[in-house]
Amino acid sequence: MDKKKFCEKLRTARIEAGYKQEHAAKHLNLPISAISVMESGARKIDVFELKKLADFYNKPIEWFFHEHNSLSKRRWYDLDPVLSEAVDLLRQAPTKLQKSAAYGIIGFLKQGGFALPDDEM
């Protein structure tokens, strides 16, 4: 992967996460201009900054280095934009809310007959 594509991935990850450059800058404790020059390729990004941004954008680090097309998604839920959004939002939610949502999904699936109730497992 060349530098231009890597920088495009940085920008894409930020936009997909729903952040502005100022949010990323605040997360890294840098001026907004630093994010702008990182995304343009005029400033190098070190491994620690990349790790922080990957976590902030909810992307695995390898995502920034590989080409992705719609036919070869990494995770099963990436194939559907609604599922992908749901999983991403669930990841960002507080643990208590994550558990409540999980219980709701389990109950819904069991009620619909897609999973066996606890006493039949």
The domain limits of the chain are 3-65, 76-120
Q: Where are the alpha helices (DSSP H) in the chain?
A: 3-17, 21-28, 32-40, 47-57, 81-92, 95-111
pLDDT at residue 99 in the model:
92
pLDDT at 111 over 50: yes
| Tokens standing for residue 51 | 């790790």
pLDDT at 67 over 90: no
pLDDT at 68 over 60: no
pLDDT at residue 119 in the model:
56
User: Structure pTM?
Assistant: 0.56
Q: pLDDT for 22-52, tens place per residue? A: 999 999 999 999 999 999 999 999 999 999 9
Q: Which CATH number fits domain 3-65: 3.90.480.20, 1.10.260.40, 3.40.190.10, 2.60.40.2470?
A: 1.10.260.40
3-state DSSP assignment of residue 38: helix
